[in-house]
């Protein structure tokens, strides 16, 4: 291991890429402490801590901003609007033919899709900034004199706040793209990874101290709970690595010609199609949590309505979707399972694998090219996705068995998936760089 690290560090361009990535992440963490003018973070944390549903909603955003939301810095929105825009563009490729064609046009088409994603991310960031601030004003966490779009005296501060939060999101997107182009790994993923890692010491410290009966110091009960939590997290990470790297390899044969003394002879070359067991990543967790949190967000707007019937209904909605209830986690696990299938099928259909194989003259042994190949691959996809969907559903609800702060369990599951995925992807890129230079990689 140390020899491989030393070999990696002796390659000048690879070393420069790693240092460049670390430098960009350092800049990002420094900017994460620049506050939004006119907002009192202590008052914001006080209001959110009194509502479990709000802790879950804003806690999910805090994962993507690395604690920036709790401090309400200029990066409070994180890269969540950009991730939403990316998901929207991916789903639209199956609906709008032109977008699907761009994805098949090579690098130029992918660059165009990335530009469209950035265009969509800007209005989404503005909308999210406005909705979050409106919720905070409604809850009393932000004074109405600071944010009110429909008041002439507060119009300028309101627009300034929205512009600041939107600019912070696009600044993170810019940093992420710089890391992707000039550094190692996917920039956006590494930014989220850095956010999670930066918050781990605080999470562990709070877990130890909060378990103390006196409120100060660490007692044995808190230490045991922390050790059990760490043990469960390590077990989940171990399983995640196995499932993340698990794949079904479908053999494929390509026609080829080999030169011999008297000319050329037709032959075949064998390869395979890697079909991932968990091809959806953590996207189903985001989908499911967003579906469950949307009614809660709406309830926070209208729960104080003068209409008693409406107010009572949405107050009940907040109670029904309280994460401390056992049936909340059953619903959440079921939604994760369903969205895993949905996302995996949508992404697979966009690849047109059977059609591309037929165009190249390739075939799967024993399977006719064309519709039969497509039917065969979809059947395999359905079978292996069942395992991946079941895995994600169990991972989503497993931390709730500890009976700790239930409102943070979605964040823990999503965080672990992000960490595992980003670390493995980055290691694969480093390994590819080292193999190109005749060094043995980390995964070999």
* Shared domain check, 129 and 23: yes
Q: Which pair of tokens denotes residue 132?
A: 């979050």
> In angstroms, rounded to a whole number, what is the distance separating the alpha carbons of residues 255 and 429?
30
In a domain, 420, yes or no: no
Position 407 scores a pLDDT of 41
Q: What is the DSSP string of 138-169?
A: HHTSS-TTT--TT-GGGHHHHHHHHHHHHHHH
Per-residue model confidence (pLDDT) at position 137: 78
Residue 4 located in a structural domain:
yes
User: Is 203 inside any structural domain?
Assistant: yes
What is the reported pTM? 0.75
> Where in the sequence is the domain holding 223, given as residue range(s)?
219-404
Kindly state whether residue 427 falls inside one of the protein's structural domains: no
The answer to the question of residue 339 being in a domain is yes
Residues 183 and 313 in one domain: no
158's tokens: 């309101």
Q: Are residues 283 and 370 both part of a single domain?
A: yes
Contacts of 355 (CB under 8 A, 6+ apart): 374
Answer yes or no: do 142 and 183 share one domain. Answer: yes
Burial class (CB in 10 A: 0-12, 13-18, 19+), 218: middle
pLDDT for res 283: 77
The verdict on 205 and 318 lying in the same domain is: no
In a domain, 147, yes or no: yes
- Residue pair 211/225 in contact (Cβ under 8 Å)? The answer is yes
**Structure tokens belonging to residue 428:** 């694969």
Residue 65's pLDDT is what?
60
Same domain, 153 and 38: yes
First to last CA, the chain: 11
* 340 shares a domain with 260: yes
> Residue 353 corresponds to which tokens in the numbers above?
């694998």
Other C-beta atoms lying within 10 Å of the C-beta of residue 171: 15
Same domain, 177 and 225: no
HSE value, Cβ hemisphere, 13 Å, CA-based, for 40: 11
Q: State whether 249 and 167 are in the same domain.
A: no
Residues 283 and 163 placed together within one structural domain of the fold: no
Distance between CA atoms of residues 395 and 416, nearest Å: 9
Please report whether residue 430 resides in a domain.
Answer: no
Asked if 149 and 229 sit in the same domain, the reply is no
Does residue 431 lie in a domain region?
Answer: no
Instruction: Say yes or no: 246 and 337 in one domain.
Output: yes
> What's the number of domains the chain is made of?
2
The total number of residues written for the chain in this structure: 444
Helices (H) and strands (E) in the chain, counts: 17, 2
In order of 50, 79, 270, the CA distances from 249 in angstroms are 50, 34, 12
Helix or strand (DSSP H, E) at 370: none
Q: Which burial class, exposed, middle or buried, applies to 263 when counting CB atoms under 10 A from its CB (0-12, 13-18, 19+)?
A: exposed
Identify the CATH number of the domain in which residue 122 sits.
1.10.3370.10
d(CA 329, CA 395): 11
Specify the pLDDT at position 171.
92
- pLDDT tens digits for the chain (444 residues)? 566 667 677 777 888 888 899 999 899 888 888 888 777 777 766 766 666 555 656 666 665 565 566 677 888 888 888 888 888 887 787 777 787 777 777 778 888 888 999 999 999 889 888 877 877 777 777 777 777 777 777 788 888 888 999 999 999 999 989 998 888 888 888 888 887 777 666 666 655 555 444 444 555 565 676 677 677 777 778 888 888 888 888 888 877 655 555 555 556 677 888 888 888 777 787 778 777 776 766 666 665 556 677 767 777 776 777 666 777 788 888 888 888 888 888 778 777 788 888 887 888 888 888 888 888 888 898 888 888 888 888 877 876 665 544 444 445 666 777 788 888 888 888 877 777 766 555 555
The H-assigned helical ranges of 321-397 are: 326-351, 353-359, 371-397
């Amino acid at each position: 291991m140390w020899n491989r690290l030393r070999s990696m560090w002796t390659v000048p361009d690879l070393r420069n890429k790693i240092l460049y990535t670390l430098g960009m992440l350092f800049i990002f963490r420094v900017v994460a402490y620049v506050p939004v003018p006119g907002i009192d973070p202590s008052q914001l944390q006080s209001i959110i801590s009194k509502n479990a549903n709000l802790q879950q909603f804003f806690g999910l955003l805090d994962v993507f901003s690395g604690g920036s939301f709790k401090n309400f810095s200029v990066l409070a929105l994180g890269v969540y609007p950009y991730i939403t825009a990316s998901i929207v563009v991916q789903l639209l490729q199956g609906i709008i033919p032109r977008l699907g064609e761009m994805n098949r046009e090579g690098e130029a088409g992918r660059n165009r899709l990335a530009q469209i994603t950035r265009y969509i991310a800007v209005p989404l960031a503005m909308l999210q900034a406005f909705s979050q601030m409106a919720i905070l004003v409604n809850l009393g966490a932000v004074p109405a004199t600071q944010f009110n779009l429909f008041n002439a005296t507060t119009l300028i501060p309101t627009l300034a706040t929205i512009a600041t939060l939107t600019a912070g999101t696009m600044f993170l997107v810019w940093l992420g793209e710089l890391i992707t182009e000039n550094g190692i790994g996917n920039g956006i993923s590494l930014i989220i990874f850095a956010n999670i890692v930066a918050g781990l010491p605080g999470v562990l410290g709070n877990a130890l101290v909060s378990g103390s009966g006196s409120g100060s110091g660490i007692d044995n009960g808190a230490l045991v709970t922390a050790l059990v939590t760490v043990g469960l997290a390590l077990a989940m990470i171990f399983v995640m690595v196995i499932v993340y790297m698990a794949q079904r390899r479908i053999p494929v044969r390509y026609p080829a010609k080999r030169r011999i003394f008297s000319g050329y002879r037709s032959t075949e070359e064998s390869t395979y199609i890697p079909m991932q067991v968990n091809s959806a990543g953590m996207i189903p967790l985001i989908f499911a949590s967003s579906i469950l949190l949307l009614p809660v967000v709406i309830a926070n707007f209208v729960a104080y309505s003068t209409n008693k019937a409406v107010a009572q209904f949405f107050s009940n909605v907040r109670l029904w979707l309280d994460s401390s209830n056992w049936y909340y986690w059953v619903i959440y696990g079921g939604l994760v399972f369903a969205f895993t299938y949905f996302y995996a099928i949508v992404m697979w259909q966009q690849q047109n694998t059977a059609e591309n194989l037929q165009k190249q003259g390739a075939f799967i042994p024993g399977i006719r090219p064309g519709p039969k190949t497509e039917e065969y691959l979809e059947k395999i996809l359905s079978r292996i996705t069942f395992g991946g969907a079941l895995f994600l559903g169990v991972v989503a609800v497993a931390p709730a068995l500890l009976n700790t702060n239930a409102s943070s369990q979605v964040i823990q599951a999503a965080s672990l998936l992000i960490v595992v995925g980003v670390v493995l992807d980055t290691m694969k890129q480093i390994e590819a760089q080292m193999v190109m230079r005749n060094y043995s990689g980390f995964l070999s």
